[in-house]
Amino acid sequence: MSSDKGADRPAGPALQCDRVVAGYGDAPVVREVSLTAAPGRVLCVVGPNGAGKSTLLRALLGLVRVRQGTVTLGGKDVTNKPLEELARSGIGYVPQGEDVFDTLRVTENLDMGGFILSRAERQARMDAVLDIFPALRRLTRRYAGTLSGGERKMVALARVLMSDPDVLLLDEPTAGLAAELTRMVLEEQVRLLAGLGKAVLLVEQKAEAALSVADDAAVLVNGQIALTGTGAEVLANEDVGEIFLGGAGRGKGWMQSMWAGSAGSAGTDGTVHSTGIA
């Protein structure tokens, strides 16, 4: 069934957000962000801590209210739709941290991933997914809460693949993973998802590793897109390291844009800090 599904839509729909403004309190955390996650490609959003990456993702998922702008899935408006309905229209989500059902066995986690499928579909899909992650076969009876970090992430990705979603949103899938595992998750697992024809939106703190597997990339600073390009372009941009470390050169310009953020205008060449007390 799932293979039919793929055949029906060779290209698959893209997830687009257009000038999205979202946030929790009085000040929006995400401001006028426009992005497109295209089928078969990995779109990587990087940025320093607190740039609004997670909030953007949660806004796309209907978990944080989108105040302005639209989110569309294959051209259909899905702005502020409840999460479960988004899931049913083909959006898969792997949250950061609590990404598996700890008190459920691995197979049960997969069953939940395929909740919207029929029983027969689910069985077929489970075989297919276990083929993608053969390492999970020997873990099927384990409770997900007892797994190691890398195994958990595999379960989380396998779970989200169960429903064969068209679009995948991954929130820092490598958080807390060691370097080798990070490489494994990004280079093997995330690439694999795009290889399956899915539109992957990857939000990452570990910019270098993430950008090296990304087709498209966007750098989010202070809730706004500061730079876009292909993954390779952004990676090759010498300033990226410095942007993250807040160094001199072009990075300083970025720094200023961060500073100026809430004031709404470009910074006054880094003198912000000398604002006097009293």
Partner 1 sequence: MSIFVSAIGFGIASGAVIALASLGFTLQFGLSNTLNIGYGGFITLAAFTGYGLIQLGLGPWPTMAAVAVITGLLSVLYYQFFIRRLILRSVGLGPIAIATAAALIFIDYAIVAVAGTDVKSYGLTSGRTFHLWDFVLSSTQVAIIVLALALMLAFQLLLRLTQLGRALRATAVNKTLARSCGIRAERVTSLAWLISGLLCGTAGVALAMTTQAFDFNLGSTFLILIIAAAVVGGIGEPYGAVAGGFLIGITTELSAAYWSPAYSDVVAFLLLIVILLIRPTGILGGQARRRHVAT
Partner 2 sequence: MAGVLNFGYIANLALGAYFYGVLTLGPSSGNGGFQTYIIGLHLPAALAIIVTALVGCAFGGLVGMIGVKRLRPDYQAIVLLVVAIVALTLVEADAGIFNGNAGLSLLPNPVGGTGPTSPNGWLYVAIVFAVCVVGYLILRRFSDGPLGRSLRAVRDDDRAALAIGKNVVGLRILVQVVGGGFAALSGALLAAFIGAWSPSGWQFAETLSLLTAIIVGGVASNPGVVAGALLVPVIFEQATQYVPGLSSRPQLAGDVGWMVTAVLTIVFIWWRPRGILPDRRPRYGPGARRWSRFSMAPLGLASAAADMRADGPVGDPGPARDPAVATELAGPALTVHVRDAPVTSGAAARAPLLAASGLAVHYGGVAALDAVSLEVTAGTVTGLIGPNGAGKSTFVNAVSGFTRPEAGRVKFNGTDITGLSPHRRARLGLVRTFQLSRQFGRLTAIENLLVARARHPAESAAGIVAGLPYWRRAEEENVARARALMATFEMSDKADEPAANLSGGERRMLELMRALMTDPMMLILDEPLAGLSPRWSGRFEDAVGLLRQQGLTFLLIEHELGIVERLCETVIVMARGQVLTTGTMSELRTQREVQAAYVVG
Residues contributing to the site for partner 1 (CB under 8 A): 61, 63, 82-84, 87-88, 92-93, 95-104, 108, 111-113, 115-116, 119, 145-146, 152, 159-160, 163, 175-176
d(CA 114, CA 177): 26
115 binds, among partner 1, partner 2, none (CB under 5 to 8 A by kind): partner 1
> Given candidates 4, 7, 8, 49, which one binds partner 2 under the rule CB under 8 A?
49
In the β-sheet with 66-73, what is the strand arrangement from edge to edge?
A: 30-37, 15-22, 66-73, 76-77
d(CA 130, CA 246): 43
Under rule CB under 8 A, residue 232 binds partner 2: no
> Given candidates 178, 232, 236, 266, which one binds partner 2 under the rule CB under 8 A?
178
> Given candidates 208, 233, 236, 249, which one binds partner 2 under the rule CB under 8 A?
208
Output the six-digit token pair for 277.
Answer: 């007390």
Q: How many CB atoms lie within 10 A of CB 45?
A: 27
Q: What is the residue type of 44?
A: C
Sign of CA dihedral 206, 202, 17, 84: negative
Under rule CB under 8 A, residue 123 binds partner 2: no
Under rule CB under 8 A, residue 196 binds partner 2: no
CB of 36 to partner 2, least distance (A): 25
Hey, what long-range contacts does 76-85 have (CB within 8 A, 24 or more apart)? Answer: 76/13
Under rule CB under 8 A, residue 236 binds partner 2: no
CB of 112 to partner 1, least distance (A): 5
263 binds, among partner 1, partner 2, none (CB under 5 to 8 A by kind): partner 2
Please list, in sequence order, all residues whose beta carbon lies within 8 angstroms of the beta carbon of residue 40, skipping any fewer than 6 positions away: 12, 194, 195, 197, 198, 199
Read off φ and ψ for residue 200, nearest 5 degrees: -110, 125
159 binds, among partner 1, partner 2, none (CB under 5 to 8 A by kind): partner 1
d(CA 37, CA 25): 27
CB of 151 to partner 2, least distance (A): 11
Interface with partner 2 (CB under 8 A): 25-27, 48-50, 148-149, 172, 174-176, 178-179, 182, 204-209, 240-242, 244-247, 255, 259-263, 267, 270, 272-278
